[in-house]
Amino acid sequence: MKNKVMIVDDHFVVREGLKLILESDDSFQIIGEAENGKVALELLTGIQPDVILMDLNMPIRSGLETIKALNDQNNSIPIIILTTYNEDELMVEGIGLGAKGYLLKDASRDHLFRTINAAIRGETLLQPEIMNRLLAFNKKSVAKTSQPNKAMLTPKELIILHALARGTKTKNIASDMNIAERTVKAHLTTIYNKLGVNSRTEAVVIALTEGYIEFGIE
């Protein structure tokens, strides 16, 4: 069965390039494309992609505005943000909105496929270059503001954070740790509260920045 992909980008050349790459693999099918968020939301009333590739800067309705609208609709389609080299602040905001991953627009074919497949599986896969940028941006932000002391993380919480950094799904974390999935989810809630975040990717970025875990994401 083919994975259904929707591409949302205001640049025709970018959309065509992604289509050519994805359609070179029989496991992907492009079922929709849009030049801005408004058109994307209209199309999504009639189609159900498995994943959406979303540009950030678009006219009429931006990528972040579109993600917010989808969140308001409780739409759970995984979204991968397409980014360039000068959008770090927007990328961080996208993390808070639940984006499943980021792709530089010049990412390799193999990494494009791996990131999409990871998102469809419910996992998060970040290019090391993007993670480094997020870390650098977050360190600058922390330097500009006084942060409260964060509560110490327990050994189990650190194990879970390492698993999150590897993109491991909740049920697999539970299996690896020999605990119930609901217990993992309870630990995740505690981790998010301690770190002051709302998503897996935010937790990983903060944990790496603060030195709770080491950088080792492939």
Are 127 and 104 spatial neighbours (Cβ–Cβ below 8 Å)?
A: yes
* For the chain, domain boundaries: 3-138, 146-210
Name the nearest CA neighbour of 38 among 76, 79, 71, 10: 10
Q: What is the pLDDT of residues 126-175, one digit of tens each?
A: 655 666 666 565 555 544 444 444 457 888 888 888 887 776 778 888 99
Question: Which CATH architecture is the domain 146-210 placed in?
Answer: Orthogonal Bundle (1.10)
Mean pLDDT computed over 179-198: 88
Nearest to 81 by CA among 23, 126, 38: 126
Q: pTM for this one? A: 0.68
Which amino acid is present at 95?
Answer: I
**Fold for the domain defined by 3-138:** Rossmann fold (3.40.50)
Strand ranges of the sheet holding 101-104, from the earlier edge strand across to the other edge: 28-34, 3-8, 51-55, 79-83, 101-104, 125-126
pLDDT in tens, 94-112: 666 667 777 878 788 888 8
